[in-house]
Structure 1
Amino acid sequence: MIDRLDPRLVRLGLGIAAPVLAIVLAFAITSLVLIVAGDPVGEVWSTILSWPQPRNQANIINNATVLYLSGIAVAIGFRMNLFNIGVDGQYRVAAFAAAAVAGEAWLPGYLNTLLAIAAAVLVGAAWAGIAGLLRATRGVSEVIATIMLNFIATGLVAYLLRKVAVRSEGSNSLGTKQIPEGSRIPGFQIGDGAATEVYGFLFVAVLVGAGYWFLLNRTRFGFDLRATGRSNSAAVASGISVGRMTVGAMMISGGVAALVGLPILFGDAYSYGSTFQSGLGFAGIAIALLGRNHPIGIALGALLFAFLDEQSNPLQIIADVSPDIVAITQGVIVLTVVISYEVVRRYGLRLEQARVAAQLRAAAPVDPSGPTESSKEVSA
């Protein structure tokens, strides 16, 4: 029976089983936390899992767009066993650069938009390239380097913001010049009212996901990247420059990370200021893990996290429960996803061993004359 199963279907089933198991475990553990705290479990989940209104749907899609770009940026590093923890700092310096360039309006209309996006990608790639260069030349862990660069980015952007900021009249907040209306990226509505508008940058995110898949699966660079991620020694034996691949992978990851803040910049805020949304980079780590570094899986993970974030808002009013319970759920997902993947991996390995054993038994020739005299003596 096992040898008749299509290996591709088995791999697909196991790939789906791992994140589903992680989510189920996360919800079960969160329910236990609610029970211990004396909170109404049923009311909490009925509120969170209720169908969102059009306004909430737009917020979910917008938040998922940002989280998706963050997840893709992290996944590029993951495919080469590089942990780019610096997405948060990379998108900050990139968003500031894009806002500063777009605010100057050196070019008309969407040419100005393209110039600002190009500036953001270059800045983000260069900032991530610092960690890649340190790893390739000095053996410095990219985890430590990117974490430290996050703090440097925060201070650097705050310093530069004070240099170029335009203070709004009657407000204490600082911000760059407003992006001209002709350079903004318009959204589209999924319901009645402006509150249901979805970022037009959503289509750019889709193109980024398609480009990520194409780069990894249809280019020599993607093959080298995956090969290096699986075995450095094998990559070196194949003539691949591990140092060059390390710097290249980090720069591409940083270039994608540069796009994380742009949906908000060009679709909502229109300037970079002291109130610009922060903390968008770290969720990408969990989403990339949950989506197994696959563009579709990352999209589903981003939608799940965005859904949980949006649906947690009314918990305080409806169920008298802190919305921070969703943060617990998301944190538990990060832990359970690692456990689930290992359990599913071991189960898949057993299935593969059983399938190979069944095929060997089926292919073994059968002697119609039965055991020979010599075999009988040996068995005796």
Structure 2
Amino acid sequence: MSTLRRLGTALLAPVLAIVVALAISALVIVLIGENPLSAVEVMLDFGDSPSQQTQAMVVILNRAVPLFLAGLAVSVAFRMGLFNIGVEGQYRLATILSAAAGAAVALPAPLHVLLIIVVAMLVGAFWAGIVAVLKVTRGVSEVISSIMLNFIALGLASFLLTGPLRGSEPGASIITTADIPESGWFPGLNGVFGALGLAEPRSELYGFLLVAAVAGIVIAVLVKRTRFGFDLRATGMSPSAATASGVDARGMVIKTMLISGAVAGLIGLPDLLGSSHHYGTEFTTGLGFLGIAVALLGRNSPVGIALGALLFGFLDRAAIPLQFEGIPASVVTIIQGTIVLAVVVANEIARRITRRQAERGGSQPASPTTGDGSTDGGQGSGGPPPDPGAAVGTGTGPGVRSGAADGTRGGQQ
């Protein structure tokens, strides 16, 4: 029964957020003179023919892969009580530099792809590392520094694209880097549809889906099953207590931001290696900010983040069919935005319900050093994922932020 209760509490926040978002969006659709049920019918229509249906699945999955990586990058920092809002700049800078590196060399296919991935991860980690160093050495809020570095990264990427790394012809309407040779392309997964007896889609399913799945497994094991993950979660709950128990809080901030940045560097690679094969002015933007919403919706759990990414991919894919039916595509943006707002409120409601249940049962919340030391209050590995609303609060509020500062000072003494 306790397992079902924990599962219900974990699912309460995201389900409530989605229901509230749909209700508000339905009200907006009614106000513009359209039928909400017609909008839902259009969103759920994947086509009549088998090829159209598989194509719709590919579009959703291809959109979900970079969103999953973005949510994963944000969630690593959330677990530490950090708010890495600089994911947008990290992946944009990492993508253009990895695209340039991939276009500049000629290597056998596996090594060529590996080089591009490594360059992207190093650039993302380096850019996130600047945020960490400023925080532990000067006490600069990671929110402020990462926002500033976003602008710097976007400006630097624009300069490189129009200057040293430009590969398109002068006067071209779309400016791009040089194309990556075919040896640097990541193979697609359309063969899976044939093996399953499904129709062949028009576009290619990104093979980078496998890399994203591996990244999710590695992060899950690292955070939940290793000493480093224990120290990370303990420091995120109470930096001063973690420092007192021998954990280097300053070092954990740097290591966590490096990991978060390295994962962020992968966000642009599904599109780069799977379809465009160059970075240009039309490259996908905004994935870093959407990753925050996906991480919140998934409650920092890789499985939850994957489901959140699929939901956002489904919503993005529905934008064009809605326009064909005369319903503004901005309805999708409204749904996504209200999900972000509703999930914060729902997380707080779920947290209070959990606390009241514990009080009625005569039990006190577990200490940070019990169980697996996760940020969900020290519950066992089978407990619900941590409250991301608390993580966001630590990124901007005075509570844990002052604790982080105390922990940092404690590490310096």
User: TM-score, normalised to structure 1's length?
Assistant: 0.89
Distance (whole Å) between structure 1 residues aligned to residue 324 and residue 278 of structure 2:
33
The equivalent of 1:43 in structure 2 is 38
Q: Structure 1 residue 280 and structure 2 residue 287: aligned?
A: yes
Task: Indicate conservation of the 8 Å contact 1:69/1:256, yes or no.
Answer: yes
- C-alpha displacement of 1:112: 1.4
Distance (whole Å) between structure 2 residues aligned to residue 265 and residue 227 of structure 1:
37
Distance (whole Å) between structure 1 residues aligned to residue 122 and residue 356 of structure 2:
46
Q: Alpha carbons of 1:160 and 1:169: their partners in 2 closer, same or farther (altered >3 Å)?
A: closer
Q: Structure 1 residue 8 and structure 2 residue 3: aligned?
A: yes
Q: Deviations over 1:127-151 (max 9, x none)?
A: 0100111111111111111111111
Q: Given the alignment, which residue of 321, 325, 335 partners 1:329? A: 335
What stretches of structure 2 of length at least 5 have no aligned partner? 48-52, 364-413
Q: Given the alignment, which residue of 346, 351, 355 partners 2:361? A: 355
- C-alpha displacement of 1:330: 0.6
- C-alpha displacement of 1:168: 4.2
Q: Deviations over 1:193-212 (max 9, x none)?
A: 55242100000000000001
Q: Structure 1 residue 258 and structure 2 residue 258: aligned?
A: no
Q: Given the alignment, which residue of 290, 299, 305 partners 1:292? A: 299
Distance (whole Å) between structure 2 residues aligned to residue 343 and residue 321 of structure 1:
33
- C-alpha displacement of 1:49: 2.8
* Bigger Rg, which one: 1
Q: Given the alignment, which residue of 323, 326, 344 partners 2:350? A: 344
Task: Indicate conservation of the 8 Å contact 1:95/1:265, yes or no.
Answer: yes
The equivalent of 1:371 in structure 2 is none
- C-alpha displacement of 1:165: 1.3
- C-alpha displacement of 1:353: 2.3
Task: Indicate conservation of the 8 Å contact 2:129/2:261, yes or no.
Answer: yes
Distance (whole Å) between structure 2 residues aligned to residue 50 and residue 267 of structure 1:
26
Task: Indicate conservation of the 8 Å contact 2:65/2:209, yes or no.
Answer: yes
Task: Indicate conservation of the 8 Å contact 2:54/2:200, yes or no.
Answer: no
The equivalent of 2:93 in structure 1 is 93
Distance (whole Å) between structure 1 residues aligned to residue 213 and residue 73 of structure 2:
13
The equivalent of 2:102 in structure 1 is 102
Distance (whole Å) between structure 1 residues aligned to residue 242 and residue 70 of structure 2:
28
Distance (whole Å) between structure 2 residues aligned to residue 273 and residue 166 of structure 1:
9
The equivalent of 2:14 in structure 1 is 19
Distance (whole Å) between structure 1 residues aligned to residue 290 and residue 165 of structure 2:
30
Distance (whole Å) between structure 1 residues aligned to residue 43 and residue 158 of structure 2:
36
Distance (whole Å) between structure 1 residues aligned to residue 280 and residue 340 of structure 2:
31
Distance (whole Å) between structure 2 residues aligned to residue 274 and residue 338 of structure 1:
34
Most deviating of 158-167 and 138-147: 158-167
Matched ranges for 1:1-380 at <5 A: 5=1, 7-51=2-46, 53-161=53-161, 162-168=163-169, 171-189=172-190, 190=193, 192-193=199-200, 195-318=202-325, 320-356=326-362
Amino acid corresponding to residue 116 of structure 1 in structure 2: I
Distance (whole Å) between structure 2 residues aligned to residue 172 and residue 37 of structure 1:
36
What stretches of structure 1 of length at least 5 have no aligned partner? 358-380
Task: Indicate conservation of the 8 Å contact 1:54/1:196, yes or no.
Answer: no
- C-alpha displacement of 1:22: 1.0
- C-alpha displacement of 1:171: 3.2
User: TM-score, normalised to structure 2's length?
Assistant: 0.82
Distance (whole Å) between structure 1 residues aligned to residue 351 and residue 17 of structure 2:
13
Amino acid corresponding to residue 57 of structure 1 in structure 2: M
Task: Indicate conservation of the 8 Å contact 1:80/1:226, yes or no.
Answer: yes
Distance (whole Å) between structure 2 residues aligned to residue 181 and residue 76 of structure 1:
33
Cα RMSD after superposing both structures: 1.6
Task: Indicate conservation of the 8 Å contact 2:320/2:329, yes or no.
Answer: yes
Distance (whole Å) between structure 1 residues aligned to residue 269 and residue 203 of structure 2:
19
Q: Deviations over 1:164-185 (max 9, x none)?
A: 2112488332222211112211
Q: Deviations over 1:301-324 (max 9, x none)?
A: 000000011012111221x11111
Most deviating of 109-118 and 208-217: 109-118
- C-alpha displacement of 1:241: 1.4
- C-alpha displacement of 1:192: 4.1
